Amino acid sequence: MSKTNEIAMVSETKTKMVVITPDQYGLLAVLPKNRPINKQHSLSMKLSVMRNGVLRNVIVVWDSKKNKYYIVDGQHLSDCLKDLGYNIPCTVVDSKSEAETTQLMIDLNNTSKSWKLADYIHGWAESGNKDYRLLKNAMNLTYSDMQVSIIIQAYTMQNRAKATKMVKEGRFEIVNKVKGDELIDCVSECAEIVPNTRQMNEALIKLMLRTEGYNHKHMIKRLKAVVKHFVFSTSEGKLYEQLETIYNG
């Protein structure tokens, strides 16, 4: 058995150790679902490795169909070690499905640094989830000026806490995209009149979701009538009460 084939053998235990030598760099691949490599971060890590040596392993999963180790955590470390021509120590984790690999990637990243909501969306979207892909497209293209929390609330018809939890756990589903787009457009139109803050927009989306038979033209008319002399609160809860009063006024 060749050295390359030997290193590609993954044991039936949950984890094992392998060392990727420079002539075997081709066995390593970056997961598309992971965060893009930041070259500045790789450079900082490279300087650290040169000063202190390699202090941790790259975490990988083995794909027997593609004969590659996919990096789940440590892509910046791997990138800098390749630049240096160093061996890359790896811990191979047994993963039986795409979803399991995605969850592993999220868990590992959160042990050292907190993921932003956009990172979860990117990860699940690159795993092939259609709803997350639509969400990512809306976030990056269609509604790039709108807060992510507003977009997920509009599409899930849930409050921020529930919608955020759904996104992080891989349970995000678009209830009604047409209605969701309409809600986001309404908030965007309001943002041209009142402060375009997360608190304001979340209070607006809450009002729209809770008000039976919500009439957006009426809301725009009322906001224009009061905005010049109205002092809005910075508290989401208080803002909701103020907007409810304006709408019903």
Pair 27, 149 in one domain: no
Residue 115: predicted pLDDT: 72
33 and 85 inside one domain: yes
Same domain, 105 and 199: no
Among 49, 77, 112, the domain-final residue is 112
How many structural domains comprise the chain?
2
Kindly report whether the global pTM for this prediction surpasses the value 0.75: no
- Do 207 and 184 belong to one domain? yes
Domain limit, last residue, from 112, 131, 165: 112
Check whether residue 29 and residue 145 sit in a common domain: no
Contact 166, 172 (CB under 8 A): yes
| pLDDT values of the chain reduced to their tens digit, one per residue, 249 residues | 444 444 444 344 467 899 999 999 999 998 877 777 878 878 888 888 898 888 889 999 998 888 999 998 888 899 999 999 999 999 999 888 888 888 888 777 766 556 788 888 988 898 889 999 999 999 999 999 999 999 999 999 999 999 999 998 889 999 999 999 999 999 999 999 999 999 999 999 999 999 999 999 999 999 999 998 889 988 878 999 999 999 998
CATH number reported for the structural domain that contains residue 24 in this entry:
3.90.1530.10
Same domain for 102 and 29: yes
Same structural domain, 73 and 38: yes
Contact 247, 219 (CB under 8 A): yes
Going from the C-alpha of 111 to that of each of 45, 104, 205, the distances in angstroms are: 18, 11, 33
Q: Are residues 17 and 140 located together in one domain of the fold?
A: no
Same domain flag for 180 and 148: yes
pLDDT for residue 12: 43
Identify the pLDDT of residue 88: 95
Same domain, 237 and 204: yes
Angle between helices 198-210 and 177-190 (to 10 degrees): 130
Task: Return the pLDDT at 237.
Answer: 85
Please spell the DSSP secondary structure of 223-241, one letter per residue: HHHHTTT----SSHHHHHH
Please identify, among 112, 134, 154, the residue that sits at the C-terminal boundary of a domain.
112
What is the spatial distance between Cα 141 and Cα 151, in angstroms, rounded to a whole number? 12
pLDDT number for residue 6: 44
Residue that has been written with the tokens 């979207």 in this structure: 125
For residues 203 and 126, state if they share a domain: yes
Q: What is the domain range of residue 151?
A: 117-248
Shared domain for 63 and 173, answered yes or no, is no
Task: Round to whole Å and give the CA distance between 147 and 202.
Answer: 9
Q: Residue 149 CB: number of other CB atoms within 10 A?
A: 18
